[in-house]
Structure 1
Amino acid sequence: MAAKQYAFVLAGTGSGCGKTTVTLGLLSLLKQRGLRVQPCKVGPDYLDTAWHTAIYGTPSCNLDSFMLPESILNALFSERMQQADIAVIEGVMGLYDGYGTDPDYCSTAAMAKQLACPVILLVDGKAVSTSIAATVMGFQHFDPSLNIAGVIVNRVNSDSHFQLLKTAIAHYCAIPVLGYVPHVPGVALPERHLGLVTARESVINQQPWQDFAAMLEQTLDIDLLLGLSQRETLPQGAWPELPAANAGEGLTIAIADDEAFNFYYPDNLTLLARTGLNIARFSPLHDRTLPECQMVWLGGGYPELHAAALAANTSMLESLRDAHRRGVAIYAECGGLMYLSTLLEDAEGEVHRMANIIPGRSKMGKRLTRFGYCEAQANQPTLLAAKGEVLRGHEFHYSDFSPETPAVLDCCKVRDGHVMRTWSGGWQVGNTFASYLHVHFAQRPTMLTHWLNAAREAL
């Protein structure tokens, strides 16, 4: 562990308050200072972490306490910090927003307490003066056990306005105000109805972010931020039993990675690599055939935006069908499920022929079909889970799938102790398994063992 190590959580008063933009500015700033930064995101979001990675360079880490038990999450975080000077942890939604009404369950506040990290609260300074102190005071008093160590005021465009806000917060809340963030044209993140445009789809121009970082050096007290964030120890945790280091030797996994498919937790890829697997990336959009492989992973993404090009690449579709016929162990998540379906109907009503490995029709809607955490119990053996095993994951999709084969997962959404919804999902056809569920392998590494065994049995 380095002589000095730092970690802090950047939390907001709610969604849309600028957490991601300010996080990216701080990542660029700390990079310019020569610090080794470990970016993190509370919760299951793929898009924010991809932007972290694009701006800083080091793969960002999802800290998700629904999918990962405390001990495993602590072990993951501590391992990532072995090569870092500072962790910049972007919160999710508002500081106390979690899964249900319990502020200590799957919230940014709960994660800060679990990792013993100070919270830097980002508050909106637009069109407000002394009332901003009431906002800060409310967050302070809601959970006195939480270490809210400092405040940053967003959307402030004059020093005189900031001084008014700073004086009010310091007087009524007795908490350090680290500075303010002005509005800067050119650093807004592109959005669509599904959320942010992925970093993979955008040409990242680093210069505006570097300029933004230089401005933050002038408007924020970074030395005070580091002083408030210094830590001496890392949280204690333990990994579950992992597959043997040679469990994947001699096997190759082909992972879809292009504009249409790019939602992968970096820690999942690391766990795969630890088994000795050879990882080969390919593009369903641009490549003609799969690499030589015994396993395939089609992750999430936005295949509906590229449906015509995916359908036109008939050589790749036939290569996938051939791999399926040969028993290659194929796993698909969300967008991958849509690609393996028979037909995909996009948002404009155009219908495109897909791989027809999981018989059924995917259809894009105008609103979220399912969103949030859920538990899924396998009602028969699947590629990732034995019968009766439960997987915890996250769904976020505007499409729906009308299957022609029975589902293999019994899914359930439980919030505040009440069953909110049940449904069937996940489909196993031969040695291919696909569902809308995004999962973190660390929760149950036997998922990898099942997958590897299925690949070897098909040889």
Structure 2
Amino acid sequence: MAGTHSGVGKTTLTLGLLAALRLRGLNVQPYKVGPDYIDTGLHKVAAGMVSHNLDSWMGSPEAIQSLFQKHSATSELSLIEGVMGLYDGARGQGEVGSTAQVAKILRTPVVLVFSAKGLARSAAALVAGYRHFDPNVNLVGVIANGVGSQRHVDFIQEVIEGELGLPLLGALKEDKGISMPARQLGLLPAEENKDLQQALIKLAAKVEDEINIDRLISLAQGAGDFPLVYPENPSVFKTKVTLGVARDKAFNFYYQDSLDYLKELGAEIHWFSPLEDSHLPANIKGIYLGGGFPEEFLPTLAANKALLADIKQAAAYGMPIYAECGGLMYLCKEIHSQSREVFPGAGLVPAKAIMGKKLAGLGYVKAKLLRKSILGDAGLELRGHEFHWSSISELQDGQAFTLTGGRGQDNRPDGYIDGNILATYVHLHFRYNPRAAENFLTACAQYQGPGENNGQFK
């Protein structure tokens, strides 16, 4: 499911399709092109299956094909939601990272969603442009969003099918009774959307009524094949490496396949909640604090002093701690909300995290390590993505990376390293950065507990 541009309704339509197909009793495997966390969480609720990110900027074509085959093997249908516009990818790198590139890597048919509002015959010109821009993209049908009446639908169908020979697979009328709440980073995460199930029921009914699902399934059966099967990576450790991973409403930005890769290498994940748990899981050898929306839960996070003390003690003992974005904010000495209230953090990063009123970081980045750390030696270059409204101030030294790409000057500093602590704004996908994953788990495996010499990177 591709779109002509961002905001055209891809996610809403994808969720409605997933819910409708599930109600039909079909086992549907969802995917999302690119680095988005929120949409995959919504997919999971709609489909009843974990959604995976297919990212052709961070990962190789072989890695994407392998991931797709692995998770689609037991499903009856796979549904991939695109990112931005069909041909939009990493800035200045052509098709790299785009929906079009992933579609070609997987040889999948593409359905184009476009906004029909205010369009008549011009709809055919619009779709023709997308169809002919890259003839290697297998565009098999279109869906019109925002049609005004049945007469409007009939006219759109006449020009799309009559002049282009492409099937109009459906036309969605505006329905103010269905809403998907949003905040600064996109739609509201599934964990926080109390009305999501009711919205999905309405979306499923709307899609059944206004989309030709049978024709869509028939077109999906024309997908190409590729003879690539890659086995899972065998564990590189003799015993399981126990890893505490934060997960709750405040911290839930994780690539599922990134966690799967850590498990394949030998990690045993123990979940904990910075919002609700007063202690870290017992007998862990490392901590992973992912991103999310800690700024929405600052009073509760700050009030959980017992867990903050546990994390500080673990750091003092030399336990490896890796934190991304929201995790970096949580480890700072202070966190300033948008309303300028100040809350204490864990105090492991000697800086203030300050929420802004506009984007401070966005886009794919290459991150080069400045010093030896739990992720690897100085000079190791990793690929990731940043998307944040907060910024760090008063950090004097100890920066972790120089970043190239995204917003801001190339070779700008990012993050913080101190002994076995590494905190950064960059979100990493570990399968696409295998050396970093192995180095992190190796550091965790070497941790022996209180009283031992665990600060090996000091």
In which range does the TM-score fall when normalised by the shorter chain?
A: over 0.9
Q: 2:247 touches 2:273 (CA, 8 Å); kept in 1?
A: yes
Partner of 1:4: none
- CA distance in structure 2 between the aligned counterparts of 1:248 and 1:58, rounded to whole angstroms: 31
What displacement does 1:368 show? 1.0
- Cα distance in 2 for partners of 1:398, 1:72 equals 31
Provide the C-alpha distance between the structure 2 equivalents of 1:404 and 1:316, rounded to a whole number of angstroms. 27
Matched, 1:379 2:370: yes
Structure 2 portions without partners, runs of 5+:
449-458
The one of 22, 25, 36 aligned to 1:31: 22
**What percentage of aligned pairs have identical amino acids?**
40
Check if 1:407 corresponds to 2:399: yes
Provide the C-alpha distance between the structure 1 equivalents of 2:101 and 2:222, rounded to a whole number of angstroms: 18
Partner of 1:73: 64
**Could you list the per-position Cα deviations for residues 76-100 of structure 1 after superposition, in whole angstroms to 9, with x for gaps in the alignment?**
1111111211111111111111112
Q: Which amino acid aligns with 1:247?
A: F
Deviation >6 Å, runs of 4+:
none
- Which residue number in structure 1 is paired with residue 312 of structure 2? 321
Q: Distance in 2 between matches of 1:365 and 1:201?
A: 22
Corresponding residue for residue 251 of structure 1: 241
Query: 285, 295, 310: which one pairs with 2:286?
Result: 295
| Alignment partner of 2:130 out of 124, 132, 139 | 139
Within 5 A, what are the aligned runs for 1:26-425?
26-231=17-222, 234-237=225-228, 242=233, 244-245=234-235, 247=237, 249-292=239-282, 293-402=284-393, 403-413=395-405, 421-425=410-414
Is this contact kept in 2: 1:71–1:236, CA < 8 A? no
**Alpha-carbon displacement from aligned partner over 1:103-125 (angstroms, at most 9, x marks no partner):** 42211111111110111000112
> What is the CA deviation profile of residues 362-415 of structure 1, one whole-angstrom value per residue up to 9, with x for unaligned ones?
111111111100101112211112222110000001111122332121211189
Please give the secondary structure, in 1, of the residue aligned with 2:354: strand
Equivalent of 2:434 in 439, 445, 449: 445
Out of 146-155 and 180-189, give the one that drifted further.
180-189
Give the Cα–Cα distance (whole angstroms) in 2 for the partners of residues 423 and 299 of structure 1: 22
Using the TM superposition, give the Cα deviation of residue 228 of structure 1 relative to its aligned residue in structure 2, in angstroms. Answer: 1.2
Is the Cα contact below 8 Å between 1:378 and 1:410 reproduced in 2? yes
CA distance in 1, matches of 2:226, 2:430: 21
- Checking the alignment, whether the CA contact within 8 Å between 1:70 and 1:237 is kept in structure 2 is no
Instruction: Using structure 2 for the length normalisation, give the TM-score.
Output: 0.93
Whether contact under 8 Å (1:249, 1:278) holds in the other structure is no
1:245–1:275: 8 Å Cα contact kept in structure 2? yes
Q: From the superposition, tell whether residues 237 and 440 of structure 1 become closer, same or farther in structure 2 (CA, over 3 Å).
A: farther
CA distance in 2, matches of 1:213, 1:236: 34
What are the superposed Cα offsets for residues 278-319 of structure 1, whole Å, 9 maximum, x if unpaired? Answer: 211111111111111111111001111111221111111101
| Deviation at residue 157 of structure 1 after TM alignment | 4.5
3-state SS, counterpart of residue 375 of structure 1? strand
Worse-superposed segment, 425-434 or 263-272: 425-434
Measured at CA, do residues 118 and 103 of structure 1 come closer, stay the same or move farther in structure 2, by a change above 3 Å? farther
* 1:160 positional shift: 2.3
CA contact (8 A) 2:324 2:427 kept: yes
State the one-letter code of the partner of 2:272.
Answer: F
Contact kept, 8 Å, 2:400 with 2:413, in 1: the verdict is yes
Structure 1 stretches lacking a partner, 5+ long: 1-9
Question: How many residue pairs get matched?
Answer: 446
Instruction: Go from structure 1 to structure 2 and tell me whether the alpha carbon gap of 1:47 and 1:390 turns closer, same or farther (over 3 Å shift).
Output: same
Contact 2:335 2:342 in 1 (8 A): yes
Distance of aligned partners of 1:298 and 1:361 in 2 relative to their CA distance in 1, 3 Å threshold: same
- Is 118-127 or 335-344 further displaced after alignment? 118-127
Q: Which residue of 2 aligns with 1:431?
A: 420
- What is residue 451 of structure 2 aligned with on the other side? none
CA distance in 1, matches of 2:264, 2:46: 26
